[in-house]
Structure formats: C-alpha cells, structure tokens
Amino acid sequence: MPVFAPPIADHLFILYDLLDFEGHAKLPGFEHCSRDVIEAVLEQSSRFSSEVLYPLHRSGDEEGVHFDDGKVTTAKGFKDAYARLVEGGWPALTADPDHGGQGMPHMVNVLFEEMINGANLSFGLFPGLTRGAYVAIAQHGTDAQKALYAPKLASGEWAGSMCLTEAHCGTDLGLLKTQALPKGDGSYSITGTKIFISAGEHDLTENIVYLVLARLPDAPKGSKGISLFLVPKVLVKDDGSLGARNGVSCGSIEHKMGIHACPTCVMNFDGATGWLMGEPNHGLKAMFAMMNTERIAVGIHGLAIAEASYQNAVAYARERLQGRAPSGPREATKPADPIIVHPDVRRMLMTQRALTEGCRMLALWTAQALDVSERHDDQGERKTADDMVALMTPVVKAFLTDCGVEVANLGIQVLGGHGFIRANGQEQYLRDVRITPIYEGTNGVQAMDLVGRKILHLDLFGSFAKPVQGFIARLEGDERLAEFLEPLAASYDLLEDATRLIRERSGLLPEEAGANAVDYMRLFALTAVAYLFARAAQVSLPKGNADFHRAKLTTARYFMQRILPDTASLHAKIVAGAGPVMEMDERLF
C-alpha cells in the first residue's frame, strides 16, 4: 500500500542544527517564530498533507478534471480540501501581516510546500500559483491594486494564475502577440490567446486573478515591449465585491502525461478589462517577481516527489521477498529475504535518499538567503543575500527537478514490474514530476541563466565561493572531517576551473556557454550539496550515537563517495568544449 509521511525530523535538523534557525528568527518580523510555534506549524501541515491531501492523490489522478462549456470542475474532494486549506490559514503563511498574512519565513514555507506537493502535486499547484500572484502584486502593484487584491490572494479566497505562453511563443517572450489597448479610463482591453496555463480555470474559488503579458499599441519590438496586466476573471468593484464576468474564458484543457487533477488551460482574452502593473513596457521585471517565486516552488515540486517516491520504494523493499542476501539468509524462517538486503537495491535507495536530503538542504539554504535579503537590517548583508538568491534560483529549479525525475525513476526500478503498473503508485510520481524540468522555464534555460547571466554577466560566483572556501579553510586538517572535506575541496577546484574555462572561451566562441551550461549547472549543484553535506557531517559527528545522526553520516558518505565523483566527468565534458556539440552540419542530423 502506498505511504506518505512528511520527514519532520529531517526538517527540524536542517532548520535548527544545520542552519541555526534560532538565530535566523532574530531577523525583524520573525519575533513570533519560536521553536514551539515552528514545530506546531510543521506538525499541523504534516497532518493536513497526509490526512487530507494524500488520500486524494490517486483518486484525483484517475478522475482528472472535467471540462464543459468553458467551465472546469475539479476532481471529487478537491473543493472541500481547498476550503479546509483556506480555513486553516495555510495560503497566508508567508504573506505580509498588512494583507492578513502570518509573516512566516520563506524557510518554513519551503517545508510546507514540500509536504503538500509530496502528498498531492496536482492540488499543490493551486495555492502555489496563487502565492506567486500575491508576491507579484505585493511587490509591483499600485496601492489600490494591493488593497483590492492582495488580501484576497493571501487568504486563498481568490486564486491566481499567470498567463505568459502563446502557441508560437514559449521561452522567447519577445514574440508574444497579445494586445492591450487603452480604454481611456485607466484600464485596458486585453485580447489574445494563452496556452499551457496551469489552474487557468477551476471551481475552487469564486474569482481568479490572472497576470497577463501583453503589448501596448506603441510598444517596441521584442522583450523590451512587454507590459504586465492584472486581469480578474470576475470584475471587482471598488468596495471589493464582485461584479460582472470579465471577457476571459477557458477554450479547452490539455490531455497530458501527468498532474491530471490540475487543469492546463487554453485561455482566451476577448477584450477583457485589465490594469497595468508596473511601468509600461517593463512587464518582465514585474512578472519575474512571480516567476522567480514559482521557479523555487517548482524546485520544491521535484524535492517533494523525490521524498514521496523514496518513502514508497523503502516500504516496498522492506516487504518484498526475493532471493537471499549475498552474505547468507537474513530471514531464515521465510522463503526469501526482503529485497532491501541486495546491494543493487541498496544502491538505488541510497541514491534516492542522498539526492533527496541534499536537495532539501539546498532549498532551505536558498530560502534562508531569501529571508535575509528581504529583512536584514544591514543593507550590505541584504545585497550579499540577494546575490546569493539570484545565483541559486536557477540551480534550485533545475537541479531539484532533475533529481525529482531521477529519484522517481529509481523508485519504479526498485519495485520492478510492480513499479510499472498502477497499483503501487510509483508510476504516477514519474508522470507527475516529468513536467517540472519543463514548466517555469526549461532546465536548459535555467542552466543558461546560471552561466550566461549570473556567472558571465553579473559575476555572482563569489557569493557562493566565499562561504564554501571559508568553510574548507577553517576546517582543513580536521581529521574527523577529512572524508567529507577532501572530496568537497576537490569538487570545488573542478568547479572553479570550469568557471574559468567558460569565462575565457565564451568571448571567443558564442556557443561555448550554451554547450556547457547543463553540465556546469550540475557540477555547480553537486558541489553546493557536497558543501551542505560536509556541514551536516560536522554537526552530526559529535552526536553519532543516535540513529538519526548515524544515518545522516552514512548518507553523507554515500554522497561523497558514490555521487560527487560525477563532478570529474562533468568537468571533462566542459573541458571538451562546444566543438563536439556544434561541429555536425545541420543537414546530417
């Protein structure tokens, strides 16, 4: 039987033992975040995820959503679960108290999102997109827009969705054609069609707030001529009550590989009334407030599915009897031993575990920097943290979703034929998580953002290098940590050399950055995770008599000895350069 139980012990270890959340809670606005409060939040969100959302995971996938004459009805149980989500105040977890929010740290929200998406990714997309819309309006909306829309989105009473992609225009938003014509009263008439719009239409809320990219009549060509508009599904009166239905409708829904219980919509804007957000022709700046929030959130989708798949693989491996342990029978009274005794099964489980725990540390480390960037009293500290967030956002999105796919695939392999069939639930994890390396900017685009913008253009590498180099220098010569520090130092040297090579070559060969970006991104991510595992080992060594800490040290060793060596091959690929990638004539493909 499929299982799901959020790993709260690991959550608390990373928060308090690894990342000093007690010190973090001293940031302005976090005075209410005592350990008792945080543990209660995690416990309650764990209960909501496992008891309310997880039972709908399989049934929602099988039923999907229903589309009839422009209306989308969600699967049985989703509307009630959403009402309970709102009743519990969960959408308001990190929202500003001025908007009715709880003002919790991003670090706590990462763990909440891991839980709800691990329990039910299709469901988790609804509040996740709403949170992204809230962030964009809270940061870039006018005072009137904030007053009218932010509290409703913060509470979850209204939902949010973002409308970027068009049939001819995905990553290259400069090609979009949706038009915005001034109406003379401060509003605009929005006309165009958007595709692949997650949660674009549904029955969970009475209103949906769309953030829509469109062009003004005199807009410059390309991405410099894009503006952002706030377009509600139902028009809102000045007093906050709902008025007439706006000129926006769902034309169809997609039939897709996974996330069946979340509608992916074609949205038609037929002279819909909208309002400009931010400056004219600067819509991407405002939209990226939402997109960067969503990119980190999508990384958490990968982490969440990895955790769920790992748990189910372990449960099956403990029960499935097949063959005998190489060293002799472990269960002599039974006809065979459980498959968890077999080295190859252990290899798969340990890979799942190490990647999942590493991804969780990486996500929380980045969320910690995000909190600091928004709240620290010292502007220098805020700038350093902001650079770190900018550098790590594409890494979190791409690496965590790549790992989600890898871990879910291993989950099927552990179960063998029973993983390929529906009954045990593993195949759904792979179907659901497969979209995550694609939406919110493909992982190839994230890798190019890391290399082309964050490394070559903005030169943010130092925001990562400084803490890693400092950690290695401080603990060099500590024999207890040598098995963790030496692989980390070797990996960091490879990353530093790869960074140098790409910087030197990119000016000479335009294709160099793109040809090496994906390999560089993974080399970067593995080095970052190695740094965090080394820190986790430092914390765990003095407590190594406890089962939890012994397991943490064993997992860290596995990562250093069986996963981190991949950095050598990644470095070798980068040394090979763009030549092998680009030399084939297009006609010969």
Residues serving a catalytic function are 440
- Please count the other Cβ atoms lying within 10 Å of the Cβ belonging to residue 146: 18
Longest Cα separation, the chain? 83
- Three-state SS string across 455-472, please? HHHCCCHHHHHHHHHHHH
- Specify whether the CB–CB gap between 113 and 297 falls below 8 A: yes
> Residue 34 in contact with residue 7, Cβ under 8 Å?
no
Cα separation, 94 vs 107, in Å, equals: 10
The two beta strands, 66-68 and 242-245, are: unpaired
- Token digits of residue 140: 């870039």
**C-alpha dist (Å) from residue 73 to 63, 126, 268, 284:** 11, 13, 18, 32
DSSP string, 80-145: HHHHHHHHTTGGGSSS-GGGT-----HHHHHHHHHHHHHH-HHHHHHHHHHHHHHHHHHHHS-HHH
Cα(173)–Cα(445) distance, rounded to whole angstroms? 13
Distance (Å, whole) CA 304 – CA 404: 8
Q: Which 8-state DSSP code applies to residue 75?
A: P
Do residues 308 and 429 touch, judged by C-beta distance below 8 A? Answer: yes
Tell me how many degrees the CA angle 356-362-366 measures, rounded to the nearest 5. 145
- What's the CA gap between 272 and 247, in Å, rounded? 4
What is d(CA 252, CA 135) in angstroms, rounded to the nearest whole number?
Answer: 28
Q: DSSP secondary-structure letter at 241?
A: -
167 SS3 class: coil
**Distance between CA atoms of residues 589 and 586, nearest Å:** 6
Q: Decide if 211 contacts 228 (C-beta within 8 A).
A: yes
Q: For the range 332-340, what are the long-range contacts, defined as Cβ-Cβ under 8 Å and sequence gap of 24 or more? A: 339/414, 340/314
186-203 as b/e: b if 16+ CB within 10 A: ebbbbbbebbbbbbbbbe
User: Residues with Cβ < 8 Å from 234, sequence gap 6 or more?
Assistant: 206, 207, 242, 243, 244, 245, 246
| Rg, Å, the chain Cα set | 24
- Residue 524: closest CA among 578, 436, 443: 443
Place of tokens 């809670």: 25
Residue 69 amino acid letter? D
